[in-house]
């Protein structure tokens, strides 16, 4: 459970934060940063489960990450849409 939580937090918190910092450092407009934040705040792609399954990866981690990030993305997407 700890690895699944860590994967979801990295996807929904760390990636948008890094994107915001990069956008700010590059001098992007608030609208441009917001577009990037929306893209970065989306849940883990369901295709990652299929890839993990077919390539012998950690299927439980992929499935848990997809499920948890989908549930938590309500918060991250709401924050990205509200950004300004």
pLDDT band at residue 10 under the 50/70/90 scheme: very high
Decide if 8 contacts 41 (C-beta within 8 A). Answer: no
What is the pLDDT, as a whole number, of residue 84?
A: 79
DSSP calls for 47-67:
HHHHHHHHTT--HHHHHHHHH
What is the pLDDT, as a whole number, of residue 1?
A: 86
pLDDT digits (tens, 9 = 90+) for 16-75: 999 999 999 999 999 999 999 999 999 999 899 999 999 999 999 999 999 999 999 999
């Amino acid at each position: 459970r700890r690895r699944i939580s860590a994967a979801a937090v990295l996807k929904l918190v760390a990636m948008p934060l890094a994107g915001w910092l990069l956008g700010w450092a590059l001098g992007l407009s608030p609208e441009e940063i917001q577009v990037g934040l929306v893209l970065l705040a989306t849940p883990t792609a369901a295709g990652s489960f299929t890839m993990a399954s077919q390539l012998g990866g950690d299927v439980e981690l992929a499935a848990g990450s997809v499920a948890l990030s989908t549930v938590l993305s309500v918060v991250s997407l709401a924050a990205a849409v509200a950004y300004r």
